[in-house]
Chain A
């Protein structure tokens, strides 16, 4: 009798029961959480995942160059040709205090010489960005926005960006211009 009673209250049976209970609770919670999340899940195409700069918000503060996790920032200067005025005296190409309007480095805005200029016809010049040289400092963007059409702007190159879960530049961006876009929104362009 005594033996039987002890068996009934034996910790082994209790532990087994608790274990089964634990398994049931764990399995149930997995189902519940995935159910809730799956119901909230938007289409993968709509769910935003890729970091992009909103050119309208960007204040070209220069942190894109310094704060990206990559050694050379994934932010590059983009040029919207259709916005550009093709000026000879380009605010994004020449420094505001340039002594002479020639291609000497001390006259140029871009510290790496990534902006190339090509004569089209009088008085128009075409500007293109050599992406491999651009470091995303945004100096030209500042110049173009303050004296120009604002056709130069900064954007994150999706083939260079590592899609960090939390974009390090977005964290320090003073104007909250960096947000995620969905897979089918390719680039936030200015055209």
Chain B
């Protein structure tokens, strides 16, 4: 990277300033922890642990505030990119701060639930970071300059031509072609997040070829189905990648709200009843 890049992504924002800050925070907390471990046991009270818990809670509140900041278009200091950069690195610091706060032990109670939820939320966030790093280039490459609408339009055009052709085909072929030309579905519901659905256009083409048609219309229909199958492939990949770019948020956001609720319940329980009383 050159001295002053004209632009950089959120991970490398300001030469990873927030990563360094988060690391500094983690090291400072670790040092403080080490220092209080050195004290004679009689001098240890819950102050350090309460302080660490409060720090973690403040960080979590700030992290959640990102959802508001993201939508404050006219107001709000700085660029959202900087906020996201800090969001990622501060969020990651919780992976250390929270276990330390819990003494690296976990119990099946509200405290344990809060503990696990924090880690799971950060984990889903990591998915987001990974997707954001992995997919954008691939989405662009896959599109080859076409927009989503342009791809849909291309399919519609092919379907129109197929319907026109189908009248010149035998009944069996006509059935295959018409069914394919009239089905409007290319996605695959939630499942597309995990695997691309069957490309029906390609299956229809294979079925058509099995009929051994040897007419101009038949050949043309097969060629059209092949083009359609290629566009459908491209669209399915596009939908899959773009869905993944969004879907993790459907976990991350509700989980972060649940985490916040659990953490507040945990803190309230602690304040009212002390450890082990809930």
Q: Tell me whether A and B are bound partners.
A: no
**Which residues of A approach B to under 8 Å, CB–CB?**
none
